Structure 1
Protein backbone atom coordinates (compact mmCIF):
# COMPACT_ATOMS: atom_id res chain seq x y z
CA UNK A 1 0.00 0.00 0.00
CA UNK A 2 1.44 3.38 -1.00
CA UNK A 3 0.94 6.40 1.24
CA UNK A 4 0.32 9.73 -0.55
CA UNK A 5 1.90 12.76 1.08
CA UNK A 6 1.52 15.58 -1.47
CA UNK A 7 0.30 16.27 -4.98
CA UNK A 8 1.90 18.65 -7.48
CA UNK A 9 -1.36 20.30 -8.50
CA UNK A 10 -1.85 23.97 -7.45
CA UNK A 11 -5.31 25.40 -6.82
CA UNK A 12 -6.86 28.78 -7.62
CA UNK A 13 -8.94 29.24 -4.48
CA UNK A 14 -8.71 28.41 -0.79
CA UNK A 15 -10.44 25.05 -0.11
CA UNK A 16 -12.61 26.27 2.76
CA UNK A 17 -14.99 23.31 2.59
CA UNK A 18 -12.16 20.77 2.67
CA UNK A 19 -10.66 22.47 5.72
CA UNK A 20 -14.08 22.69 7.40
CA UNK A 21 -14.71 18.99 6.81
CA UNK A 22 -11.36 18.07 8.33
CA UNK A 23 -12.00 20.31 11.35
CA UNK A 24 -15.50 18.88 11.83
CA UNK A 25 -14.24 15.30 11.69
CA UNK A 26 -11.52 15.99 14.24
CA UNK A 27 -13.89 17.81 16.61
CA UNK A 28 -16.52 15.07 16.44
CA UNK A 29 -13.83 12.48 17.08
CA UNK A 30 -12.59 14.31 20.17
CA UNK A 31 -16.13 14.65 21.52
CA UNK A 32 -17.08 11.02 20.85
CA UNK A 33 -17.82 9.25 24.18
CA UNK A 34 -15.13 6.69 24.91
CA UNK A 35 -12.53 8.31 22.67
CA UNK A 36 -11.09 10.55 25.38
CA UNK A 37 -10.42 7.52 27.55
CA UNK A 38 -8.82 5.59 24.71
CA UNK A 39 -6.57 8.56 23.92
CA UNK A 40 -5.49 8.61 27.56
CA UNK A 41 -4.76 4.89 27.44
CA UNK A 42 -7.95 3.75 29.20
CA UNK A 43 -9.52 0.95 27.18
CA UNK A 44 -11.75 -0.28 30.00
CA UNK A 45 -15.18 -1.81 29.64
CA UNK A 46 -16.97 1.40 30.63
CA UNK A 47 -15.30 3.32 27.80
CA UNK A 48 -16.14 0.54 25.37
CA UNK A 49 -19.81 0.46 26.38
CA UNK A 50 -20.17 4.24 26.04
CA UNK A 51 -18.57 4.15 22.59
CA UNK A 52 -20.72 1.23 21.47
CA UNK A 53 -23.93 2.99 22.55
CA UNK A 54 -22.91 6.22 20.81
CA UNK A 55 -22.05 4.47 17.56
CA UNK A 56 -25.27 2.46 17.52
CA UNK A 57 -27.19 5.72 17.94
CA UNK A 58 -25.46 7.79 15.25
CA UNK A 59 -23.88 5.25 12.88
CA UNK A 60 -25.50 3.94 9.70
CA UNK A 61 -26.66 0.33 10.05
CA UNK A 62 -27.35 -1.60 6.81
CA UNK A 63 -30.30 -3.44 8.33
CA UNK A 64 -31.93 -0.15 9.29
CA UNK A 65 -31.18 1.54 5.94
CA UNK A 66 -32.78 -1.21 3.87
CA UNK A 67 -35.61 -2.42 6.11
CA UNK A 68 -36.25 0.82 8.06
CA UNK A 69 -36.50 -1.15 11.28
CA UNK A 70 -34.95 -0.22 14.60
CA UNK A 71 -33.56 -3.10 16.67
CA UNK A 72 -35.57 -4.00 19.75
CA UNK A 73 -32.47 -3.92 21.94
CA UNK A 74 -29.53 -1.51 21.72
CA UNK A 75 -26.52 -0.80 23.97
CA UNK A 76 -27.39 1.66 26.74
CA UNK A 77 -23.83 2.67 27.60
CA UNK A 78 -24.00 1.07 31.05
CA UNK A 79 -21.98 -1.83 32.42
CA UNK A 80 -23.74 -4.76 34.07
CA UNK A 81 -23.14 -8.28 35.30
CA UNK A 82 -24.48 -11.27 33.40
CA UNK A 83 -24.10 -15.06 33.46
CA UNK A 84 -20.70 -14.75 31.78
CA UNK A 85 -19.40 -11.81 33.79
CA UNK A 86 -19.36 -8.06 33.21
CA UNK A 87 -20.61 -6.68 29.92
CA UNK A 88 -22.46 -3.86 28.20
CA UNK A 89 -26.13 -3.54 29.10
CA UNK A 90 -28.71 -3.57 26.30
CA UNK A 91 -32.29 -2.35 26.41
CA UNK A 92 -35.09 -0.89 24.29
CA UNK A 93 -33.96 2.29 22.48
CA UNK A 94 -35.05 5.49 24.22
CA UNK A 95 -34.58 7.60 21.07
CA UNK A 96 -36.01 7.89 17.58
CA UNK A 97 -33.50 7.32 14.79
CA UNK A 98 -33.80 8.35 11.16
CA UNK A 99 -31.84 5.82 9.06
CA UNK A 100 -31.29 8.27 6.14
CA UNK A 101 -30.00 10.93 8.55
CA UNK A 102 -27.71 8.39 10.20
CA UNK A 103 -25.78 8.14 6.92
CA UNK A 104 -24.86 11.82 7.27
CA UNK A 105 -23.89 11.59 10.95
CA UNK A 106 -21.88 8.43 10.28
CA UNK A 107 -19.66 10.36 7.84
CA UNK A 108 -18.16 12.25 10.80
CA UNK A 109 -17.58 9.27 13.10
CA UNK A 110 -14.29 7.40 13.41
CA UNK A 111 -13.32 4.54 15.67
CA UNK A 112 -9.62 5.30 16.14
CA UNK A 113 -6.92 7.90 15.56
CA UNK A 114 -5.49 5.80 12.72
CA UNK A 115 -8.90 5.64 11.02
CA UNK A 116 -9.33 9.41 11.35
CA UNK A 117 -5.82 10.47 10.31
CA UNK A 118 -5.77 8.18 7.27
CA UNK A 119 -9.04 9.58 5.99
CA UNK A 120 -8.10 13.19 6.66
CA UNK A 121 -4.74 12.78 4.91
CA UNK A 122 -6.44 11.64 1.70
CA UNK A 123 -9.07 14.39 1.97
CA UNK A 124 -6.41 17.08 2.48
CA UNK A 125 -4.28 15.96 -0.48
CA UNK A 126 -7.01 15.33 -3.04
CA UNK A 127 -10.02 17.27 -1.79
CA UNK A 128 -8.64 20.76 -2.41
CA UNK A 129 -8.35 20.22 -6.17
CA UNK A 130 -11.84 18.75 -6.50
CA UNK A 131 -13.27 21.66 -4.52
CA UNK A 132 -11.29 24.07 -6.69
CA UNK A 133 -12.69 22.49 -9.85
CA UNK A 134 -16.31 22.22 -8.67
CA UNK A 135 -16.63 25.26 -6.43
CA UNK A 136 -17.47 25.27 -2.74
CA UNK A 137 -21.22 24.54 -2.93
CA UNK A 138 -21.06 21.87 -5.62
CA UNK A 139 -18.16 20.17 -3.85
CA UNK A 140 -20.16 20.04 -0.61
CA UNK A 141 -23.11 18.43 -2.40
CA UNK A 142 -20.77 16.09 -4.26
CA UNK A 143 -19.06 14.97 -1.04
CA UNK A 144 -22.34 14.22 0.71
CA UNK A 145 -23.76 12.46 -2.36
CA UNK A 146 -20.74 10.14 -2.54
CA UNK A 147 -21.09 9.36 1.16
CA UNK A 148 -24.73 8.40 0.69
CA UNK A 149 -23.98 6.35 -2.41
CA UNK A 150 -21.25 4.45 -0.55
CA UNK A 151 -23.42 3.75 2.50
CA UNK A 152 -26.50 2.62 0.59
CA UNK A 153 -24.42 0.66 -1.90
CA UNK A 154 -22.79 -1.23 0.95
CA UNK A 155 -26.15 -1.73 2.67
CA UNK A 156 -27.66 -3.27 -0.46
CA UNK A 157 -24.83 -5.81 -0.49
CA UNK A 158 -25.16 -6.50 3.26
CA UNK A 159 -28.82 -5.78 3.96
CA UNK A 160 -29.08 -8.07 6.99
CA UNK A 161 -25.98 -6.72 8.71
CA UNK A 162 -26.50 -5.09 12.09
CA UNK A 163 -22.94 -3.80 12.36
CA UNK A 164 -22.63 0.00 12.51
CA UNK A 165 -21.04 1.64 9.47
CA UNK A 166 -18.90 4.68 10.33
CA UNK A 167 -16.26 6.90 8.77
CA UNK A 168 -15.75 9.39 5.97
CA UNK A 169 -14.08 6.77 3.78
CA UNK A 170 -17.00 6.39 1.37
CA UNK A 171 -17.26 10.12 0.71
CA UNK A 172 -13.49 10.48 0.41
CA UNK A 173 -13.38 7.52 -1.98
CA UNK A 174 -15.69 9.60 -4.15
CA UNK A 175 -13.14 12.43 -4.03
CA UNK A 176 -10.45 10.00 -5.20
CA UNK A 177 -12.65 8.80 -8.04
CA UNK A 178 -13.24 12.39 -9.15
CA UNK A 179 -9.51 13.13 -8.97
CA UNK A 180 -8.77 10.17 -11.22
CA UNK A 181 -11.23 11.51 -13.81
CA UNK A 182 -10.19 15.16 -13.61
CA UNK A 183 -6.43 14.99 -12.95
CA UNK A 184 -5.16 11.58 -14.10
CA UNK A 185 -1.73 12.94 -15.07
CA UNK A 186 -1.12 15.04 -11.95
CA UNK A 187 1.97 13.98 -10.04
CA UNK A 188 1.60 12.64 -6.52
CA UNK A 189 4.42 12.17 -4.03
CA UNK A 190 3.99 8.86 -2.21
CA UNK A 191 5.87 6.76 0.31
CA UNK A 192 6.35 3.17 -0.83
CA UNK A 193 7.25 0.62 1.89
CA UNK A 194 10.27 -1.34 0.67
CA UNK A 195 12.46 -2.15 3.67
CA UNK A 196 12.25 1.60 4.29
CA UNK A 197 9.72 4.12 3.03
CA UNK A 198 10.90 5.26 -0.40
CA UNK A 199 9.58 8.62 -1.70
CA UNK A 200 8.41 8.43 -5.31
CA UNK A 201 6.58 10.83 -7.60
CA UNK A 202 3.94 8.92 -9.55
CA UNK A 203 1.04 9.89 -11.83
CA UNK A 204 -2.33 10.08 -10.10
CA UNK A 205 -3.84 7.40 -12.34
CA UNK A 206 -1.27 4.92 -11.06
CA UNK A 207 -1.67 5.83 -7.36
CA UNK A 208 -5.46 5.96 -7.37
CA UNK A 209 -5.84 3.05 -9.78
CA UNK A 210 -3.73 0.88 -7.49
CA UNK A 211 -5.77 2.02 -4.47
CA UNK A 212 -9.04 1.16 -6.21
CA UNK A 213 -7.84 -2.28 -7.31
CA UNK A 214 -6.88 -3.07 -3.71
CA UNK A 215 -10.31 -2.05 -2.45
CA UNK A 216 -12.02 -4.13 -5.15
CA UNK A 217 -9.91 -7.19 -4.34
CA UNK A 218 -10.53 -6.89 -0.60
CA UNK A 219 -14.27 -6.35 -1.13
CA UNK A 220 -14.59 -9.55 -3.14
CA UNK A 221 -14.79 -11.47 0.12
CA UNK A 222 -18.26 -10.07 0.85
CA UNK A 223 -17.51 -6.39 1.27
CA UNK A 224 -15.67 -6.50 4.60
CA UNK A 225 -12.08 -7.34 5.46
CA UNK A 226 -11.22 -10.61 7.18
CA UNK A 227 -11.02 -8.64 10.42
CA UNK A 228 -14.61 -7.51 9.89
CA UNK A 229 -13.72 -3.86 10.44
CA UNK A 230 -13.34 -2.25 7.01
CA UNK A 231 -16.24 -1.89 4.58
CA UNK A 232 -14.20 -2.10 1.39
CA UNK A 233 -17.34 -2.39 -0.74
CA UNK A 234 -18.37 1.08 0.45
CA UNK A 235 -15.03 2.40 -0.82
CA UNK A 236 -15.61 0.81 -4.21
CA UNK A 237 -19.13 2.23 -4.55
CA UNK A 238 -18.03 5.69 -3.37
CA UNK A 239 -15.12 5.72 -5.82
CA UNK A 240 -17.35 4.78 -8.76
CA UNK A 241 -19.94 7.37 -7.71
CA UNK A 242 -17.23 10.04 -7.64
CA UNK A 243 -16.04 9.10 -11.12
CA UNK A 244 -19.59 9.21 -12.47
CA UNK A 245 -20.44 12.58 -10.92
CA UNK A 246 -17.13 14.14 -12.03
CA UNK A 247 -17.34 12.84 -15.60
CA UNK A 248 -19.07 15.97 -17.00
CA UNK A 249 -16.15 18.06 -15.66
CA UNK A 250 -13.38 15.95 -17.18
CA UNK A 251 -10.50 17.66 -19.07
CA UNK A 252 -11.72 19.42 -22.17
CA UNK A 253 -14.80 20.91 -20.51
CA UNK A 254 -14.65 24.56 -19.36
CA UNK A 255 -13.81 25.03 -15.66
CA UNK A 256 -15.87 27.24 -13.33
CA UNK A 257 -14.94 30.96 -13.48
CA UNK A 258 -11.91 31.97 -11.47
CA UNK A 259 -12.66 33.51 -8.07
CA UNK A 260 -12.34 37.28 -7.73
CA UNK A 261 -11.22 39.38 -4.81
CA UNK A 262 -14.17 40.86 -2.91
CA UNK A 263 -12.19 44.05 -2.29
CA UNK A 264 -10.73 44.85 -5.69
CA UNK A 265 -12.62 42.68 -8.17
CA UNK A 266 -9.35 41.22 -9.44
CA UNK A 267 -8.66 37.60 -10.12
CA UNK A 268 -7.34 35.77 -7.12
CA UNK A 269 -3.78 34.50 -7.34
CA UNK A 270 -3.20 30.75 -7.41
CA UNK A 271 -2.75 29.24 -3.96
CA UNK A 272 0.37 27.13 -3.75
Structure 2
Protein backbone atom coordinates (compact mmCIF):
# COMPACT_ATOMS: atom_id res chain seq x y z
CA UNK A 1 0.00 0.00 0.00
CA UNK A 2 1.18 3.55 -0.79
CA UNK A 3 1.16 6.23 1.91
CA UNK A 4 1.79 9.83 0.72
CA UNK A 5 4.27 11.77 2.84
CA UNK A 6 4.91 15.05 1.01
CA UNK A 7 4.04 16.66 -2.32
CA UNK A 8 5.72 19.33 -4.44
CA UNK A 9 2.58 21.39 -4.92
CA UNK A 10 2.56 24.94 -3.50
CA UNK A 11 -0.67 26.82 -2.83
CA UNK A 12 -1.76 29.11 -5.67
CA UNK A 13 -4.82 31.00 -4.43
CA UNK A 14 -5.28 30.78 -0.67
CA UNK A 15 -2.55 31.97 1.67
CA UNK A 16 -3.16 29.31 4.32
CA UNK A 17 -5.12 26.04 4.49
CA UNK A 18 -7.12 27.06 7.53
CA UNK A 19 -9.97 24.56 7.06
CA UNK A 20 -7.55 21.66 6.72
CA UNK A 21 -5.68 22.72 9.85
CA UNK A 22 -8.97 23.28 11.66
CA UNK A 23 -10.12 19.75 10.78
CA UNK A 24 -6.84 18.27 11.97
CA UNK A 25 -6.97 20.19 15.25
CA UNK A 26 -10.59 19.17 15.79
CA UNK A 27 -9.78 15.51 15.20
CA UNK A 28 -6.87 15.66 17.64
CA UNK A 29 -8.94 17.39 20.32
CA UNK A 30 -11.73 14.85 19.97
CA UNK A 31 -9.19 12.03 20.23
CA UNK A 32 -7.74 13.54 23.40
CA UNK A 33 -11.28 13.66 24.78
CA UNK A 34 -11.73 9.99 23.86
CA UNK A 35 -8.55 9.02 25.67
CA UNK A 36 -9.78 10.76 28.81
CA UNK A 37 -12.80 8.43 29.01
CA UNK A 38 -13.06 5.19 30.90
CA UNK A 39 -13.20 2.03 28.72
CA UNK A 40 -16.96 1.70 29.12
CA UNK A 41 -17.45 5.36 28.29
CA UNK A 42 -15.36 5.00 25.11
CA UNK A 43 -17.63 2.19 23.92
CA UNK A 44 -20.70 4.27 24.72
CA UNK A 45 -19.26 7.28 22.86
CA UNK A 46 -18.47 5.16 19.78
CA UNK A 47 -22.01 3.77 19.80
CA UNK A 48 -23.62 7.18 20.27
CA UNK A 49 -21.47 9.28 17.92
CA UNK A 50 -20.37 6.60 15.47
CA UNK A 51 -22.54 5.31 12.64
CA UNK A 52 -24.27 2.06 13.62
CA UNK A 53 -25.69 0.62 10.38
CA UNK A 54 -28.48 -1.31 12.13
CA UNK A 55 -29.59 1.87 13.91
CA UNK A 56 -29.32 4.04 10.80
CA UNK A 57 -31.04 1.73 8.32
CA UNK A 58 -32.16 -1.44 10.04
CA UNK A 59 -34.80 -0.15 12.44
CA UNK A 60 -32.72 -0.67 15.57
CA UNK A 61 -33.18 2.12 18.18
CA UNK A 62 -30.44 4.77 18.42
CA UNK A 63 -27.93 4.43 21.22
CA UNK A 64 -28.62 7.10 23.83
CA UNK A 65 -30.40 10.29 22.79
CA UNK A 66 -28.16 11.24 19.87
CA UNK A 67 -29.90 10.94 16.46
CA UNK A 68 -28.15 8.52 14.12
CA UNK A 69 -28.47 11.01 11.24
CA UNK A 70 -26.19 13.43 13.12
CA UNK A 71 -23.71 10.61 13.61
CA UNK A 72 -23.11 10.70 9.84
CA UNK A 73 -20.99 13.76 10.63
CA UNK A 74 -19.68 13.10 14.14
CA UNK A 75 -18.32 9.64 13.27
CA UNK A 76 -15.63 11.27 11.12
CA UNK A 77 -14.00 12.82 14.17
CA UNK A 78 -13.69 9.64 16.28
CA UNK A 79 -10.73 7.28 16.00
CA UNK A 80 -9.93 3.86 17.41
CA UNK A 81 -6.29 4.54 18.36
CA UNK A 82 -3.40 6.89 17.71
CA UNK A 83 -2.32 5.06 14.53
CA UNK A 84 -5.82 5.27 13.10
CA UNK A 85 -5.78 9.00 13.81
CA UNK A 86 -2.24 9.54 12.51
CA UNK A 87 -2.89 7.78 9.20
CA UNK A 88 -6.00 9.79 8.45
CA UNK A 89 -4.44 13.08 9.51
CA UNK A 90 -1.40 12.40 7.31
CA UNK A 91 -3.64 12.02 4.24
CA UNK A 92 -5.56 15.14 5.28
CA UNK A 93 -2.36 17.17 5.72
CA UNK A 94 -0.65 16.09 2.49
CA UNK A 95 -3.68 16.24 0.18
CA UNK A 96 -6.08 18.63 1.88
CA UNK A 97 -4.22 21.91 1.43
CA UNK A 98 -4.22 21.71 -2.38
CA UNK A 99 -7.82 20.52 -2.57
CA UNK A 100 -8.79 23.41 -0.30
CA UNK A 101 -6.85 25.72 -2.62
CA UNK A 102 -8.70 24.32 -5.65
CA UNK A 103 -12.19 24.48 -4.15
CA UNK A 104 -12.07 27.42 -1.77
CA UNK A 105 -12.52 27.21 1.99
CA UNK A 106 -16.30 26.77 2.26
CA UNK A 107 -16.79 24.44 -0.69
CA UNK A 108 -13.85 22.37 0.53
CA UNK A 109 -15.46 21.90 3.94
CA UNK A 110 -18.76 20.94 2.30
CA UNK A 111 -16.88 18.54 -0.01
CA UNK A 112 -15.06 16.90 2.90
CA UNK A 113 -18.24 16.36 4.91
CA UNK A 114 -20.24 15.08 1.94
CA UNK A 115 -17.55 12.53 1.08
CA UNK A 116 -17.57 11.32 4.67
CA UNK A 117 -21.36 11.05 4.68
CA UNK A 118 -21.36 9.16 1.37
CA UNK A 119 -18.76 6.75 2.75
CA UNK A 120 -20.87 5.98 5.81
CA UNK A 121 -24.05 5.55 3.77
CA UNK A 122 -22.50 3.06 1.36
CA UNK A 123 -20.95 1.10 4.21
CA UNK A 124 -24.26 1.07 6.10
CA UNK A 125 -26.18 -0.06 3.03
CA UNK A 126 -23.85 -3.03 2.62
CA UNK A 127 -23.76 -3.85 6.35
CA UNK A 128 -27.31 -2.90 7.33
CA UNK A 129 -27.52 -5.55 10.06
CA UNK A 130 -24.25 -4.58 11.76
CA UNK A 131 -24.33 -3.22 15.30
CA UNK A 132 -20.63 -2.32 15.26
CA UNK A 133 -20.13 1.47 15.09
CA UNK A 134 -18.23 2.93 12.15
CA UNK A 135 -15.72 5.63 13.17
CA UNK A 136 -12.86 7.51 11.54
CA UNK A 137 -12.07 10.12 8.90
CA UNK A 138 -11.03 7.61 6.24
CA UNK A 139 -14.16 8.05 4.14
CA UNK A 140 -13.72 11.81 4.02
CA UNK A 141 -10.00 11.62 3.26
CA UNK A 142 -10.76 9.09 0.51
CA UNK A 143 -12.69 11.88 -1.16
CA UNK A 144 -9.52 13.97 -1.03
CA UNK A 145 -7.68 11.16 -2.82
CA UNK A 146 -10.22 11.36 -5.64
CA UNK A 147 -10.02 15.15 -5.88
CA UNK A 148 -6.22 15.14 -5.94
CA UNK A 149 -6.16 12.45 -8.62
CA UNK A 150 -8.54 14.46 -10.79
CA UNK A 151 -6.77 17.79 -10.31
CA UNK A 152 -3.05 17.02 -9.77
CA UNK A 153 -2.25 13.56 -11.17
CA UNK A 154 1.22 14.52 -12.42
CA UNK A 155 2.49 16.29 -9.30
CA UNK A 156 5.49 14.49 -7.83
CA UNK A 157 5.21 13.30 -4.26
CA UNK A 158 7.18 11.34 -1.74
CA UNK A 159 5.46 8.20 -0.54
CA UNK A 160 6.20 5.04 1.40
CA UNK A 161 5.40 1.70 -0.21
CA UNK A 162 4.54 -1.25 2.09
CA UNK A 163 5.63 0.83 5.09
CA UNK A 164 9.32 0.75 4.24
CA UNK A 165 10.26 1.68 0.64
CA UNK A 166 10.50 5.45 -0.06
CA UNK A 167 9.46 6.53 -3.54
CA UNK A 168 9.35 9.85 -5.40
CA UNK A 169 6.78 9.39 -8.15
CA UNK A 170 3.75 11.15 -9.69
CA UNK A 171 0.58 11.38 -7.63
CA UNK A 172 -1.31 9.12 -10.05
CA UNK A 173 1.07 6.29 -9.12
CA UNK A 174 0.81 6.83 -5.36
CA UNK A 175 -2.91 7.48 -5.15
CA UNK A 176 -3.83 5.09 -7.95
CA UNK A 177 -1.98 2.38 -6.06
CA UNK A 178 -3.89 3.29 -2.91
CA UNK A 179 -7.23 3.02 -4.75
CA UNK A 180 -6.30 -0.36 -6.25
CA UNK A 181 -5.43 -1.62 -2.78
CA UNK A 182 -8.90 -0.75 -1.49
CA UNK A 183 -10.59 -2.83 -4.19
CA UNK A 184 -8.19 -5.73 -3.63
CA UNK A 185 -8.94 -5.72 0.09
CA UNK A 186 -12.72 -5.67 -0.47
CA UNK A 187 -12.31 -9.04 -2.17
CA UNK A 188 -9.42 -10.45 -0.15
CA UNK A 189 -10.53 -9.44 3.35
CA UNK A 190 -14.32 -8.88 3.39
CA UNK A 191 -14.60 -9.55 7.14
CA UNK A 192 -11.96 -7.01 8.12
CA UNK A 193 -12.77 -4.38 10.77
CA UNK A 194 -11.43 -1.84 8.27
CA UNK A 195 -14.34 -0.32 6.33
CA UNK A 196 -12.97 -0.84 2.81
CA UNK A 197 -16.36 -0.13 1.25
CA UNK A 198 -16.49 3.12 3.20
CA UNK A 199 -13.20 4.16 1.62
CA UNK A 200 -14.58 3.32 -1.82
CA UNK A 201 -17.77 5.26 -1.09
CA UNK A 202 -15.84 8.36 -0.09
CA UNK A 203 -13.62 8.05 -3.15
CA UNK A 204 -16.63 7.71 -5.48
CA UNK A 205 -18.25 10.78 -3.93
CA UNK A 206 -15.03 12.72 -4.46
CA UNK A 207 -14.96 11.76 -8.14
CA UNK A 208 -18.52 12.98 -8.59
CA UNK A 209 -18.28 16.20 -6.55
CA UNK A 210 -14.88 17.55 -7.60
CA UNK A 211 -15.84 18.79 -11.09
CA UNK A 212 -18.82 20.67 -9.65
CA UNK A 213 -17.15 22.20 -6.58
CA UNK A 214 -13.71 23.14 -7.92
CA UNK A 215 -12.96 26.73 -8.92
CA UNK A 216 -13.86 27.30 -12.56
CA UNK A 217 -10.30 28.26 -13.48
CA UNK A 218 -8.83 25.05 -12.05
CA UNK A 219 -8.40 22.48 -14.84
CA UNK A 220 -9.02 18.77 -14.50
CA UNK A 221 -6.09 16.37 -14.81
CA UNK A 222 -3.50 19.08 -14.23
CA UNK A 223 -4.09 20.74 -17.61
CA UNK A 224 -3.18 24.31 -18.41
CA UNK A 225 -5.52 26.94 -16.98
CA UNK A 226 -6.27 30.41 -18.29
CA UNK A 227 -4.78 33.38 -16.45
CA UNK A 228 -7.16 34.98 -13.97
CA UNK A 229 -7.04 37.55 -11.22
CA UNK A 230 -8.35 36.23 -7.92
CA UNK A 231 -9.25 38.40 -4.97
Distance in 1, matches of 2:140 and 2:228, equals 25
Counterpart check, 1:160 vs 2:129: yes
Q: Note the alpha carbon deviations across 1:220-249, whole angstroms, 9 max, x for none.
A: 257542xxx211110011111101111344
Distance in 1, matches of 2:149 and 2:155, equals 9
Where do 5+ consecutive residues of structure 1 fail to align?
38-46, 72-92, 261-272
Aligned alpha-carbon RMSD (Å): 2.2
Distance in 2, matches of 1:258 and 1:129, equals 18
**Which of 194, 203, 209 does residue 230 from structure 1 map onto?**
194
Distance change in 2, residues 1:101/1:253 (3 Å): farther
Kept in 1, the 8 Å contact 2:99–2:148? The answer is: yes
Higher-Rg structure is 1
Kept in 1, the 8 Å contact 2:2–2:175? The answer is: no
Kept in 1, the 8 Å contact 2:186–2:197? The answer is: yes
Offset of residue 103 of structure 1: 1.1
Distance change in 2, residues 1:20/1:67 (3 Å): same
Distance change in 2, residues 1:258/1:114 (3 Å): farther
Counterpart check, 1:27 vs 2:29: yes
Q: Which has the higher helix share?
A: 2
Offset of residue 100 of structure 1: 1.1
Distance in 1, matches of 2:6 and 2:138, equals 19
Q: Which has the higher strand share?
A: 1
Between the two proteins, the alignment pairs up a number of residues equal to 222
Distance in 2, matches of 1:258 and 1:138, equals 19
Where do 5+ consecutive residues of structure 2 fail to align?
215-219
TM norm structure 1: 0.76
Distance in 2, matches of 1:192 and 1:97, equals 40
TM norm structure 2: 0.88
**Which of 19, 39, 47 does residue 48 from structure 1 map onto?**
39
Kept in 2, the 8 Å contact 1:133–1:256? The answer is: no
Flag the structure with more relative contact order, 1 or 2, with Cα contacts below 8 A and sequence separation at least 6.
Answer: 2
Q: Note the alpha carbon deviations across 1:148-200, whole angstroms, 9 max, x for none.
A: 00000111111111110000000000011111111111111012348xx3322
